[in-house]
Chains A and B, each alone.
Chain A
């Protein structure tokens, strides 16, 4: 078990190095002089020179990379050019909305998809099943930013029930906070719910064909007991992988949703940094997100071993 986890962590190292190279390389694919671009349109020659010095662009490229990598490994991404504060600090100030939005959306997706997937599998080809398919297919096709705008139009503009955007800190006013987060949560969680419920449905269909399910029925267990106690527990294992994958979608999607609902999160920070040409911020947020995703994938693989005793990773 421990050797498995260690081996998985070791395997992450080359991927991390590649991730770092990609992010480091981004600044160097900028057409023209990155220092001139970042210093702004009306920068003087000495401004550009100062920026170049600050970014360390005068060093040979491999030295630049090693210095950048050493700092990044300590989660130091330098100072934001626009905000004039360390990138790590700027990110920490904006963690809460992003974290809570992702958490709410994930919870919503699980709450919808598990019951929906189970019912659809048990009552195959029923109305619930068909509705689920429609939801899942449209969830994959509707762009989240447009779905968010339709929700604003409906519930904020026409009905006036919910605010159309803005963020309240959960510690300041929880009621206002939750009210403001309802629409973003739905906008983000809906398409994930579609994907997840399809996954739950198809694994449930597989599991329901298994021998132990037939045995459970044969010994006279009630339907509910078989479905929830025997089938669902086994179907959750593949669903966990999809949960991990959908987290990636949620992290990416929160960039868009934060912009639609003007939530002051990390995603909005990235979007604002594009026009500000604030590369250190973009690099920092993108790297952190990739790290989070890699760690989550690792955790899921480790969890497998606990959830499913059949998986014997150490033995091969």
Chain B
């Protein structure tokens, strides 16, 4: 588990940035050591395999799904799970398994896009606020303003204004999660900008934009990666909650949140309509969180015995 002795000596001999997380503490020869650490963590490994399966099944949902998710078959309404309909059918006789697969598509799409968008805008804001102390205060007060709302409520309010659509869910969630990422990037930037390598880059006349991109940002990367995994999990949960409340993806489109909501009135007669998509949601989010924990342990040695 531990680094080899020579790795340790080399790591100790290097100048240490004060940042908690850094890839640089691992010597070049073992730059990808952390990947091995992640894979050695049984929870992270199982999660990774599970997520790969989910990814494949949802991407190829069109081929794998035995039925058209919107195919209405009144003759087979509310049938319980069987070899014909693995997850049963809903009130309109639609196949719950096929709908669950297609629903996963939207969840993963939202999770991935929100993560990318949040990482981009959050990093830009965090870098600027951390690097230029003149605008720091103003920017962080604005972030305080956004964080004063419970995330779900802010997202609901934005969705109420924009109207129910997948694209709007993505926009709303990016707005909700930006403060979180920008705060993280700002704090690492505050540390990184005082490092000698930044000073020397400035001394040789590098432009601020390049310094920020090549030195300050690159050294914030590992905590950002960890945070991004959690953002994926949080946004998948948030999308499902919004859809459940009727403020997310329009009703009728198969998403996990919509399906749980549709099934709620039929719990007594057909528990499977809600339970299968809900469980898929739970397991996917759980796997992403466990993978995130594994990543954090691998990238930040200090978190290991927490």
Contacts and interface: CB of A to CB of B under 8 A. Distances in A.
A141 B245 contact: no
B141 interface: yes
Among A273, A279, A282, the one with the most B-chain Cβ atoms within 10 Å of its Cβ is: A282
Contacts of B278: 143, 146, 149-150
B159 A141 contact: no
A30 B282 CA distance: 33
Contacts of B246: 271, 274-275
Contacts of A271: 156, 245-247
A22 B145 contact: yes
Given A138-B286, A255-B152, 11 more contacts: A15-B148, A18-B141, A29-B162, A137-B293, A140-B289, A142-B286, A144-B241, A145-B240, A145-B257, A252-B151, A259-B244
B145 A259 contact: no
A260 B152 contact: no
A27 interface: yes
Contact of B244 (A249, A256, A277): A256
B150 interface: yes
A90 interface: no
23 contacts: A15-B141, A15-B144, A22-B149, A26-B157, A27-B161, A31-B162, A142-B285, A142-B286, A146-B260, A149-B274, A149-B278, A152-B267, A153-B275, A164-B267, A249-B150, A253-B152, A260-B264, A270-B156, A271-B247, A279-B160, A282-B156, A289-B153, A293-B149
Nearest to B156: A270
Among A15, A17, A157, the one with the most B-chain Cβ atoms within 10 Å of its Cβ is: A15
Interface string A261-297: 0000000001101110101001101100110011000
A101 to B, nearest CB: 14
A294 B149 CA distance: 9
A15 B131 CA distance: 22
A217 B240 CA distance: 50
Nearest to A165: B264
B216 interface: no
Contact of A137 (B146, B156, B162, B286): B286
Interface string A121-157: 0000000000000000110111111100110110001
Nearest to B143: A18
Given A30-B161, A141-B289, A143-B285, A255 B156 contact: yes
List of 5 A-B pairs having minimum Cβ-Cβ separation, nearest first = A18-B145, A252-B150, A252-B152, A146-B278, A141-B286
Contacts of A17: 145
A275 B247 CA distance: 8
A164 B144 CA distance: 38
Among A29, A252, A289, the one with the most B-chain Cβ atoms within 10 Å of its Cβ is: A252
A282 B156 CA distance: 9
A143 B153 contact: no
A36 interface: no
Nearest to A17: B145
A5 interface: no
A164 B290 CA distance: 32
Interface string B123-159: 0000000000000000001101110111111101111
B178 to A, nearest CB: 12
Interface of A: 14-15, 17-19, 21-23, 26-27, 29-31, 137-138, 140-146, 149-150, 152-153, 157, 164, 202, 248-249, 251-253, 255-256, 259-260, 270-271, 273-275, 277, 279, 282-283, 285-286, 289-290, 293-294
Interface of B: 141-142, 144-146, 148-154, 156-163, 233, 237, 240-241, 244-247, 257, 260-261, 263-264, 267-268, 271, 274-275, 278, 281-282, 285-286, 289-290, 293, 306
Contacts of A15: 141, 144-145, 148
A26 B157 CA distance: 7
A53 B152 CA distance: 31
B261 to A, nearest CB: 8
Among B154, B161, B268, the one with the most A-chain Cβ atoms within 10 Å of its Cβ is: B161
Contacts of B158: 26, 29
A290 B148 contact: yes
A16 to B, nearest CB: 8
A286 B162 contact: no
A253 B163 CA distance: 21
A149 B260 contact: yes
Nearest to A14: B141
Contacts of B157: 23, 26, 282-283, 286
Contact of A143 (B156, B240, B290, B293): B240
Contacts of A282: 156-157, 160
Contact of B148 (A19, A253, A259, A279): A19
Given A141-B286, A143-B278, A289 B160 contact: no
Contacts of A19: 145, 148-149
A274 B159 contact: yes
Contacts of A31: 162-163
Contacts of A150: 275, 278
A55 to B, nearest CB: 14
Contact of B150 (A18, A149, A273, A293): A293
A231 B14 CA distance: 38
Nearest to A198: B306
